[in-house]
Amino acid sequence: MLKFFSHPKTQVAALALWAFMLPIWNVGMSVAMFFLLFVAVITSIQNKKFVLLPVLRNPIYLSLLVVWTLIAFGLFRGGENSLVLKEIKTLLPLILAPLFLQNLSPLTKNDEAIIWRVFFASVGLSALVCVVYAAFKYPLPEPRSASLFISHIRFSLMAVLALIAAWRMPDIVPAYVKIALTAILCSFFFFVGTLTGWGFLIVLIVLLFASKSKRNKFIVVGSTLALTSVLFFLLSQFNESNSFQTENGNRIFINIAPLELDSAWLARTNRPMLQKDARGQLVQTTLIRYLTSRGLTKDAYGVQQLTDNDISNILEGYTNCNEPNWNALEKRWHQIVFEYQTFQSGENPSGHSIFQRLEYYKAAKFIIQRHLIWGVGQGNVKFNYSEAYKQTSPNLDEKVQHAVHNQFLSYWIAAGMAAIISFLLYFYFMWKQGSDSEIAVAFVIIAFLSCLTEDTLTTQPGVAFFAFFSTFFFFLPKKIVSSST
């Protein structure tokens, strides 16, 4: 029995199982990883040797271990120790996987190809299911709900890496599989409207293109500067002429007769205006925006002009009469424009995912300025954010008073300056050691960017993504193919 678990094919199967579970099932991720750890222990018993030093000497591992240790020291700094234990537990796969899996038998090129094919199949299959679901349910009031298995943001990280790896690694899968995978994943990005997916894919392609030659670098830098200049010009024009909120060019919050609206809406639907629609928005606000989008007056007469389909749309949470015909990207763009108008108007940004983040950064800055060197301790993070929001963003709804959505700053707040420096070194050493592999570099770029825009390592899929690919690229033993003379 022990020989079965320690057999190289069993090890490859266990690795492939973990790769397969990454985009599909959180529980499956954990089961697959711990089965793999068990296989590594059995292999060590069979070989009568448990290797420790290679990983413990690796600066990638050591830099992350420093972060984890500083987080763990939060147990001695007061506050809610349950929050510290939760963070320690969440990061545990990143600590255990390299330490144990370095004891597996070396992977051959064929073994690596099998694992990649399984990962491509899993990403493609899960995306296809989501696309079919979105197509049947189209139009979805909330496009992100089409990401059925894991968060659309975490899935996007895996999808982008799968696309880059499929196209840049020769002889792993045939061309028709690459084309099919690209079509399915781009359809997923389209239906879900994930800016993370599109943005990371474009950035990665641009960076990999720039790395090929000095000429390419000049092209990329020049194009970036030109596009940035155009964007700032357009925003400046937009700022001058649109410092108010609009729907289809009509100003929203003017000429409103609230009492007429309330009585007319109650008579039309037998429902009060101060209830929530299907999206959790106040019906009053949804109704006003919808009337504005149709160019109707915001009074009893305007409500009377609404069709039954309009009433249904409002109750579903549609704020614009054209929204049922928009695709996910059009919806997301409209949301961004409205959020920007709200921000420019100086109104409460609660519920606006992009401009809420400015409030998150204010709170993070407030905490860091007062705990610059040592941080506050993981157990005190929640309390300090609560106090910070009272000072920096008192009007922000309590239910959206979240952490900063930046993994680097999160570690700085929780464990101090040493933690953020160590975390930056973690990426530097991965970049340095992986510089000979374009796919390893692609993973490092994706991982780094995700930590700039999200608290990626506070979620199981995010940690599993990091743990699997960082171990796969930098810690798993690989067979060295000797060149023939």
Q: What confidence tens digit (pLDDT) does each residue in 263-311 have?
A: 999 999 998 888 888 887 889 989 999 999 999 999 999 999 999 999 9
Could you tell me which residue, 346 or 422, shows the higher pLDDT? 422
- What average pLDDT does the structure give for the chain? 88
> What element of type H or E holds 420?
helix 417-433
- Higher-confidence position of 309 and 142: 309
Q: Summarize the confidence of residues 183-190 as an average pLDDT.
A: 94
The yes-or-no verdict on residue 224 having pLDDT over 90 is no
Q: Is residue 301 part of a domain?
A: yes
Domain with 261 in it? 249-320
Per-residue pLDDT for 96 more than 80? yes
Q: How confident is the model at residue 483 (pLDDT cuts 50, 70, 90)?
A: very low
Task: Report residue 340 as tokens.
Answer: 């920007």
Is the per-residue pLDDT at 243 higher than 80? Answer: no
* pLDDT level of residue 89 (50, 70, 90 thresholds): very high
- The answer to whether the pTM exceeds 0.75 is yes
Per-residue pLDDT at 326 exceeds 50: yes
Whether 298 is in a domain gets the answer yes
> Is residue 258 in some structural domain?
yes
Q: Determine, yes or no, domain membership for 289.
A: yes
The predicted pLDDT at position 107 comes to 92
Partners of 256 in beta bridges: 298
pLDDT of the residue at 246:
81
Contact 415, 427 (CB under 8 A): no
Using CA atoms, how far apart are residues 92 and 75, in angstroms rounded to an integer?
A: 16
* Whether residue 77 has pLDDT greater than 50: yes
Helix (H) or strand (E) run with residue 250 in it = strand 250-251
User: CA-CA distance, 273 to 319, in Å (whole number)?
Assistant: 14
**Share of residues in the chain with pLDDT > 90 (%):** 57
By C-alpha distance, which of 425, 459, 460 is closest to 444?
425
Residues 6 or more apart whose Cβ sits within 8 Å of residue 36: 11, 14, 15, 17, 18, 97, 100, 101
Residue 377 one-letter amino acid: G
Q: How many CB atoms lie within 10 A of CB 365?
A: 14
Whether 310 maps to a domain, the answer reads yes
Q: What is the mean pLDDT of residues 122-133?
A: 96
In a domain, 272, yes or no: yes
Q: In DSSP terms, which residues pair with 247 in a beta bridge?
A: 250
Count of structural domains, the chain: 1
d(CA 91, CA 142): 31
d(CA 227, CA 404): 28
Residue 303 lies in a domain: yes
Q: Quick check: is 290 in a domain?
A: yes
